[in-house]
Amino acid sequence: MSLRSKTNELRKRMKNAASGGGDKAIEKQVAMGKMTARERIIALLDENSFQEYDLFVEHAAKDFDMDKKYLAGDGVLTGTGLMNGYPVCIYAQDFTVAGGSLGYMHARKIVKIMDHALKLQVPLIGINDSGGARIQEGVNSLAGYGEIFYRNTLASGVIPQISVILGPCAGGAVYSPALTDFVFVVDKISKMFITGPEVIKSVLGEEISMEDLGGARVHAAITGNAHFYAESEKECFTQIKTLFSYIPWNNKNKAKAYPIKMPKSRTFKIGSIMPSDSKQPYDVRDVIRAISDNSDFFEIQAMFAQNITIGIARVNGETVGIVANQPMYLAGVLDVDSSDKAARFIRYCDAFNIPLLTLVDLPGYLPGIDQEHAGVIRHGAKLLYAYSEATVPKITVILRKAYGGGYIAMCSNHLRADFVFAWPTAEIAVMGPEGAANIIFRKEINEAADPDKMRQEKVEEYKTKFANPYVAAAYGYIDAVIEPKETRRFIVHALEISKNKIIHNPDKKHGIPPF
Amino acid sequence: MMEENINNDYSDFTIGDATYRTILTTKFKSRKAYSKIKIKEIHSFIPGTITEINIKAGSKVAKGDIILILEAMKMKNKIIAPMAGIIESVNVKIGDIVPKNSLLAVIK
């Protein structure tokens, strides 16, 4: 055979292998409002940068007449490419091929590209769209999941791993995304659950739709499994590209620096965001935007545990991870979900050399039987652990309330914040003036002719004496009390001089965080 | 994404004797009220099917007696009396599919 005919043979084989599950299955995929696996990769990566591998891999199953079936690429595309000009490893499950089910060779392809990513020290992107384990392949299918989970764990904190849920991701399959850094979901397309509606119906007799059980909104707002929510696949891809512009390519490097842009100070006036009544809310994101470059702020888990705001921004061209109490929701209290949300993000930033900026304004922990019984002690401890353990530059700005345990937890001097700044509006005290006055002056209040008047007087007395930043500053727990308009300048300077920060935690195999 | 902000109004929210104006999250508002554990009420600890009932109203039981079999996750779970007493009511019949935490029987 001539080279020409051999080349033609190759082309024929490639066309066949790249045809997915055939026209009918592809039509069905499109009818569900979904792109095909190949279209997704092409839309996500830089133009013409996708190099596919293992196109000719076939399944090796023999039972249940599987040997008579051909599954193109065994239901998954794998390869490398560029995003924003930087290399990434990627895989996308192809739902049109046997429902994207995970068989042994399917998993082998994924595992191979994961090994590449770890070896090449580049990010890994996984696009999930699969009905689950390929039952015909039995325990080999389970082995496949196990091999993936193991690699997700080894790669955790070494290379960025992101999961994009663009279809069903059910049963054991959900645990790969859960082990990765960030999970992206799309409205009406993403479905994640351990046991589906049918099983729940047969066991419980309860009926629930897939959407209500484990749709995009559920994971973005209730479970916290998802970090980014989009209305369409296109919007989702834009979010992924934005995220990648902020993060470093592996844990040996820092995030790429961008040209410095000043905040839009006419829109976000830092001096007039805070209401004069300290019990009135404001949107802490306005404070962030008054500090960040170009007033950009890329929020993470925006719909979950909204009483704490987390996200990424640039300050003076450099990526900074931001954790801020959000007085707009639940007065900004710490609770089970907000502690968990912030703690994981802090560990992410620490693993990838992203300095931490903490903005503090909280009345304390959320009281309640449900919180206590949900384990606010161990979940709250995660936050202390994450902040204490983090060795990246840590800068804290106390905007207003910093009471009790909340003061300690929000990256205080005592958890080794490098710089703690406080606005003149800061109230740093063991507890709020109302609560403190009721305890300290109980006798005087009870014995007074007019207890309410006496209480008010004592609250005012306590406020004047303690609800300010100067008591803490007198002990050196605050490094500087600053005017709001000076905030960015102080942060920029602190970041600049912290660039070569070195701190060594004691040698250990690993700690035992309370999770 | 912002619809929650628009639909939600600010409410008063009291912590540490101080009252703040803030938005209550959907999850906070839908939290379950606490109810005390009632030892005399026997609830299903897992969803499943009632396959055996060894008691009826008025039966005398000793602590540890097997009063019901609740089949779930392919296991026949023995439901035992948490205390000695007289069965006040049996709230299920054989073949019933019960969700988690549903009342199976009451002891008096």
Which CATH number belongs to the domain containing residue B86 in this structure?
2.40.50.100
Report, as an integer, the average pLDDT of A503-515.
Answer: 93
Q: Quick check: is B64 in a domain? A: yes
Among A212, A217, A175, A194, residue whose Cα is nearest residue A303: A217
CA-to-CA distance for A185 and A59, rounded, in angstroms? 29
pLDDT band at A119 (very low <50, low <70, confident <90, very high): very high
Which of B23, B31, B34 is the closest to A329 by Cβ? B23
Residue B51's domain spans which residues?
A: 41-107
Q: What is the pLDDT of residue B8?
A: 56
The pLDDT of residue A206 is: 78
Q: Which of A50-64, A278-292, A466-480, B32-46 has the lowest mean pLDDT?
A: B32-46
**Mean pLDDT, rounded, for A75-84:** 96
Confidence of residue A340 (pLDDT cuts 50, 70, 90): very high
**CA-angle at A30, arms to A26 and A35, nearest 5°:** 90
Domains and CATH numbers, chain A: 3-246 (3.90.226.10), 270-430+468-497 (3.90.226.10), 433-466 (no CATH)
pLDDT in tens, B44-101: 988 889 999 999 999 999 999 999 999 987 889 999 999 999 999 999 999 998 888 8
The residue type found at A186 is: V
pLDDT at A369 over 60: yes
With contact defined as beta carbons under 8 Å apart, do A366 and B15 qualify? yes
Write down the pLDDT at residue B3. Answer: 43
Side chain identity at residue A179, one-letter code: L
Q: Which residue has the higher pLDDT, A2 or A339?
A: A339
Task: Give the sign of the dihedral formed by CA B73, CA B77, CA B82, CA B86.
Answer: positive
B7 belongs to a structural domain? no
A400 beta partners: none
Total domains present in chain B: 1
Residue A274 has pLDDT above 60, yes or no: yes
Least confident of A37-46, A218-227, A301-310, B46-55: B46-55
Predicted confidence (pLDDT) at residue B6 exceeds the cutoff of 70: no
B33 vs A143, higher pLDDT: A143
Whole-number pLDDT of residue B108: 87
Please name the member of B18, B21, B47 whose beta carbon is closest to the beta carbon of A363: B18
- Asked if residue B90 belongs to a domain, the reply is yes
Q: With an 8 Å Cβ cutoff, are A370 and B100 in contact?
A: no
**Residues written for chain A:** 515
- Cα–Cα distance between B9 and B6 in angstroms, integer? 8
Residue B62 in any domain: the answer is yes
Residue B12 counted as domain residue: no
Which string of b and e fits A319-355 if b means at least 16 CB within 10 Å? bbbbbbbbbbbbbbbbbbbbbbbbbbbbbbbbbbbbb
Average pLDDT over chain A, rounded to an integer:
95
Q: How confident is the model at residue B38 (pLDDT cuts 50, 70, 90)?
A: confident
Interface of A with B (CB under 8 A): 203-206, 221-222, 229, 279-281, 302-303, 305-307, 327-333, 337, 363-364, 366-370, 373, 403, 431-435, 438
Q: How confident is the model over A315-322, as a mean pLDDT?
A: 98
Average pLDDT estimate for B9-38: 88
**Domain assignment of residue B33, yes or no:** no
Instruction: State mean pLDDT over A451-462.
Output: 90
Nearest 5°: the CA angle A257, A263, A266 is 165
Residue A207 predicted with pLDDT over 90: no
How sure is the predictor about A220, in pLDDT bands with cuts at 50, 70 and 90? very high
Is residue B2 assigned to a domain? no
Give the pLDDT of residue A253.
94
Q: Which of residues 33-52 of B touch A (CB under 8 A)?
A: 34, 47-48
Token pair in block for residue A385: 């652990």
Mean pLDDT, residues A43-53 taken together: 97
Q: Tell me the shortest Cα–Cα distance from A152 to chain B, in angstroms.
A: 30
Give domain status of residue B58, yes or no. Answer: yes
Mean pLDDT in residue range A305-314: 98
What percent of chain A is predicted at pLDDT more than 70? 100
Give burial (CB, 10 Å; 0-12/13-18/19+) of A293: buried
Cβ–Cβ under 8 Å, residues A152 and A198: no
Question: A241-245, A345-349, A481-485, B12-16: which has the minimum mean pLDDT?
Answer: B12-16
Q: Strand, coil or helix: what is A116?
A: helix
| Residue A306 to residue B47, Cβ atoms within 8 A | no
